[in-house]
Amino acid sequence: MARHWREIRAEAIAQGRLDPARADAARKEMHEAVQAQQLADIRKAHGLVRQADVAALMSVSQARVSKLEGR
């Protein structure tokens, strides 16, 4: 019989094999990396080669765009 992920996760937490805080931190880090890649993809799709061009459109510094894309 198939088990639900919720049951498997609860069992892993109870047995100390999964730390929910670490899992949440990893999930957040992955989400930020995906967003950074999406920003770079959007910039390139619109023909904006330079981060400075995006920065001007966003009213932020080029360094901020670089930081966002570099995550």
- pTM of the shown model: 0.65
With a CB cutoff of 8 Å and minimum separation 6, the contacts of 65 are 39, 43, 51, 52, 54, 55, 58
Extents of the domains making up the chain: 20-69
Reported as a single tens digit per residue, the pLDDT across 21-68 is 999 999 999 999 999 899 889 988 999 889 999 899 999 999 999 988
Q: Are 65 and 44 in contact (CB under 8 A)?
A: no
Contacts 24+ apart (CB under 8 A), 65-70: 65/39, 68/35, 68/36, 68/39, 69/36, 69/37, 69/39, 69/40, 69/43, 70/36
